[in-house]
Structure 1
Amino acid sequence: MNILVTGETGYIAKSLSAYLTSKLIDSSLFQKSVQNRAINNLNLEEIDVLIHLAALVHKKETPNSEELYYQVNTELTHQLAMKAKSTGVKQFIFFSTMAVYGDVQGEINYQTKTNPVTFYGKSKLVAEKKLLELQDEHFKVCIVRPPMIYGPKCPGNYSLLSKLSRKTFIFPKVENKRSMLFINNLNEFIFQLIQNKESGTFHPQDPQYINTSSMVREISKVYGKSIHFNKLVGKILKLLIGNKKIYKKVYGDLYYERELSLYKDNSYQKFNLEQAIAITERE
């Protein structure tokens, strides 16, 4: 089996490529950057599985950037998929996003409608629809909509929370609920999609919901640090900035219904929160 992973310099691409290489002993894995490479010149003749991770993600959105989001996340994806199908690629795994649901708060389930509000979310959802139009019995499409991903040396919000957990002695105690996905659980999930020759839309997540205060506690435990979690501080914080985007991003509820993330026996959820944090902080 030959596997091609795009987005070769990205955090997920590096981790996933290393994991698949270790698991698929009799397979060959290649990494390619496709954003600055003409799709027509890309050789996919002997590729069986294409995992498309290349995307425009963490860029400040302005009215002038809308076209670029659609060029990279929608049109490039569509062109790549058409090329893959025409050359005999059997499975196309596309990394989409939770952002296709928009500004929804609370639980996301089978009844929740997609309603993206950002260029990123909108461009990913259009790409999903274009891919599903290409799918047939010989060209299987997997759409993966992960929540926030964390793991060793990960970029983004987790690393900021980790730094804060090592410095602060007091933290707001807020009872919130969020879906997150440890990178090693994600890697195993993709491995199983390949092994089972799957198609469909998937919403993987960790075995338990994440509470921000609990995550900070687990991080501090790794360093033998004691933090006081204060409900009053949490209430004051909510009163002052509860309607702000930053508060909702850190302390709001946003999670996938359990049934939505069910896959086989959920054996892809190899690590719980305590194990995931320990691995993340010690590597």
Structure 2
Amino acid sequence: MSNSDLSFRTLVTGADGFIGHHLVTEMAKRGLPANCATRRVKHLQGQRSIGVGDIGAHTDWSESLENCQAVVHLAGRAHVLNEEKSAHSAFEQVNAEATKSLVRQAAQRGIKRFLFVSTIAVFDPSLSRLDAQSATTPGTEYGRSKLLAEQYVRDASADMAHTILRVPLVYGPGVGARFLQLLKLASLPVPLPFG
């Protein structure tokens, strides 16, 4: 690895989430420096951790973006449980408005690369087969907020290359309890009420 490689620093938002944790761990193994944005400061594989609190339209990303040349934006909200806010406003605030704020601030700082992890929930849920031309007509507030965030990323800056990944449910070592519950249900010898 050359010295120029070591100076290339990436901001990873949601670094303490499932995908983020695996990404940051792999980056550390390869000697790739990262600024890790999380709700609270945490020890993350020797990488620089920055606590940003709950994210939204007014999040100040300046410390997180310090010395970075690229952004991997993983932070987001997938569920709304027992909260005062409506699902629409909760998803829009975290998934769309926080992304808009981050991508705007990244462009202002001259960041050249932005990778946004979206979801297959942006597609029409009635489709049985998906490709790059499939209709983006989300059936949930979550999907709508992620689709809006994608548009904010596309609109951010002509000088910033962007990549949008539309991922399905992700699982692997260290997967959360909800997925493990689904696996247990799937092993039951009874039909499940999923359509």
TM-score using structure 1 length = 0.54
Confirm or deny: 8 A CA contact 1:97 1:146 kept in the other structure: yes
Task: Give the residue type in structure 1 aligned to 2:105.
Answer: K
Once residues 100 and 67 of structure 2 are traced to their aligned partners in structure 1, the CA distance between those partners, rounded to angstroms, is 20
Q: Which residue, 9, 15, 30 being the options, matches 2:16?
A: 9
**Could you tell me the percent identity over the aligned residues?**
29
Q: Which residue, 165, 169, 176 being the options, matches 1:148?
A: 169
Confirm or deny: 8 A CA contact 2:13 2:74 kept in the other structure: yes
- Shift, 1:71, TM fit: 1.0
Q: Which runs of 5+ in 2 are unaligned?
A: 1-7, 39-51
Question: What secondary structure does 1:5 align onto?
Answer: strand
Equivalent residues in 2 for 1:15-164, closer than 5 Å: 15-23=22-30, 25=31, 27-33=32-38, 34-36=52-54, 39-40=59-60, 42-43=62-63, 44-60=65-81, 64-136=86-158, 138-155=159-176, 158-164=179-185
- Shift, 1:115, TM fit: 0.5
Q: Which runs of 5+ in 1 are unaligned?
A: 173-236, 249-283
Instruction: Identify which range, 82-91 or 51-60, moves more after superposition.
Output: 51-60
Once residues 164 and 108 of structure 2 are traced to their aligned partners in structure 1, the CA distance between those partners, rounded to angstroms, is 19
Confirm or deny: 8 A CA contact 2:97 2:149 kept in the other structure: yes
TM-score using structure 2 length = 0.76
Once residues 127 and 178 of structure 2 are traced to their aligned partners in structure 1, the CA distance between those partners, rounded to angstroms, is 18
- Shift, 1:157, TM fit: 5.2
Question: What secondary structure does 1:145 align onto?
Answer: strand
- Shift, 1:117, TM fit: 1.6
Task: Give the residue type in structure 2 aligned to 1:159.
Answer: L
Question: What secondary structure does 1:111 align onto?
Answer: coil
Residues 113 and 61 (structure 1 numbering): CA distance in 2 closer, same or farther, change over 3 Å? farther
Residues 51 and 78 (structure 1 numbering): CA distance in 2 closer, same or farther, change over 3 Å? same
- Shift, 1:155, TM fit: 1.7
Question: What secondary structure does 1:150 align onto?
Answer: coil
- Shift, 1:247, TM fit: 1.5
Once residues 6 and 79 of structure 1 are traced to their aligned partners in structure 2, the CA distance between those partners, rounded to angstroms, is 13
- Shift, 1:35, TM fit: 4.6
- Shift, 1:79, TM fit: 0.6
When you count helix as a share of all residues, which structure comes out higher?
1
| Greater than 4 Å deviation, 4+ residue runs | 60-63
Task: Give the residue type in structure 1 aligned to 2:78.
Answer: V
Once residues 130 and 61 of structure 1 are traced to their aligned partners in structure 2, the CA distance between those partners, rounded to angstroms, is 28
Once residues 127 and 41 of structure 1 are traced to their aligned partners in structure 2, the CA distance between those partners, rounded to angstroms, is 17
Question: What number of residue pairs does the alignment pair up?
Answer: 171
Once residues 137 and 61 of structure 2 are traced to their aligned partners in structure 1, the CA distance between those partners, rounded to angstroms, is 35
CA deviation string 1:1-52 (max 9, x = no partner):
10111113211111111012223x2x31121124536533622241011111
Instruction: Supply the RMSD in Å over aligned alpha carbons.
Output: 2.5
Equivalent residues in 2 for 1:126-205, closer than 5 Å: 126-136=148-158, 138-155=159-176, 158-164=179-185, 171=189
